[in-house]
Structure formats: C-alpha cells, structure tokens
Homo-oligomer: A and B are copies of this chain.
Amino acid sequence: MKEFDSSTIEAMAKVPRLNLINSVTGYKSANLIGTISSDNILNIAIFSSVTHLGSNPPMLGFMIRPMPTAPKDTYKNIKEQHYFTVNSITSSMVTDAHHTSANYPPERSEFESTNLIPEFLDDLKVPFVKGSPVRLLCKYLNEYEIVENGCIHLIASIKKVYVEDELMQDDFSVRLDLSEIVTINGIDGYALPQLINRFGYAHPDQPTKSIL
C-alpha cells in the first residue's frame, strides 16, 4: 500500500499532485456546460464536478476554480445570461469533450474547434449538445465562495430535463449505461460504466434486496 501524508503531498510537483488528488475521491460526473455570451458566441466546456444537490426543488451545483483560471467564459456567460445547459458525454464524444478544456479566447466558440454540434431546443438561445442523451436546462441561483481555496460553488435550479427514450425506466430513474454515458477518473481519464445492481430502500435488520 502506498501512503501519502500531508508533507509528502505538499512537496509533490504540481502535475503529480493534481493526478493523485483528483483521482482519490472516486469517479466524477462528465458533463459539457453550454452557454452563450452577450456577443452571441456559443461556449461549451467540460466539467467534472456537476453534482445533484436536491430534488425538491431540483438543484445542482458545480465548482468554478479561482479567477482568472479557466473556465472563465462559462462563469461570465452564466452570470450575464443566467441560463445554461448541462449535457451528458457519451463514449463517442470523449475526444471532443476533452478538447473543450483548451484555453480558446472568448471570441472563439469551442463548437467550431470540435465535432460537437450545437442544438437549440424550445426556441432557447442557449446551446445544447446534439446527440447528448441526457440534457438539462439550468438557471443560476446563487454562489458560495469556498474561502479555504477561493473556488466558487455555483448553484442552479434545473428548469427542464430532456432524456432519450431508451434510458427512461418505469420508476423514472435514468439508466446512464444504456447510451454509453461516461464518467471521469482523475483529470484526464474517461471510463465507461456498466450497471451491476440496484437495491431497494435499506431498512435496519432486513437484508438489502436487489431490484434490478
């Protein structure tokens, strides 16, 4: 077993430390966040920190690194336009999705530099990603600065959900593996999960039962 204590981690070079600490909290969600600027430039950027925050009302959160680090365009656009989209990433999209992390200037749309295609739903001007099996329309609610490291925890309400038919289960859960939605390992690893089991609500002193 390898062990890394605080002083070892502190003494590591930047990239090895990023690799280690980004990996050890487990798999992360893989989403493309779509925004539009006040100059109508479409922006699409990969995020690995989108997390469910509550279902009633439906909310999510994700982390923005301290300014002026990227992804500055996403944050600026959300603050100006309020609405943004969250788009799941499939195995066929990973190369292009990763490329959206390149530091393009604000006037360059990542849609022009990748094979990702913008799609506009319900006459909204904020872009979704064509072919993404699970897509969310979100609206900015609030932000919390994490004073310990200067990151911003951005909070949004989920205003609309679009899901491909074949993923929807009878109990309204969404089986992400049925359309090859990926998950992220560390800073640059993309992994494809397969569902192994589902369990019923757990009760004390009763066996946990599969519901798959």
Contacts and interface: CB of A to CB of B under 8 A. Distances in A.
Given A2-B162, A175-B189, A26 B30 contact: yes
A113 interface: yes
Given A189-B175, A192-B193, A202 B99 contact: yes
Interface string A1-25: 1111110011010111111111111
A37 interface: no
A181 B186 CA distance: 13
A67 to B, nearest CB: 14
A117 interface: no
Interface string A165-200: 100110111111100011101111111111111111
A205 interface: yes
B102 A204 contact: yes
Nearest to A137: B5
Interface in A91-134: 91, 94-96, 98-104, 108, 113, 134
B136 A141 contact: no
A161 B5 CA distance: 6
A57 interface: yes
Contact of A55 (B21, B59, B108, B113): B21
B63 A24 contact: no
Given A51-B51, A53-B146, A193-B27, A173 B186 contact: yes
A50 interface: yes
B181 A113 contact: no
10 contacts: A19-B173, A20-B55, A24-B174, A53-B63, A53-B151, A95-B199, A102-B202, A144-B144, A177-B191, A188-B200
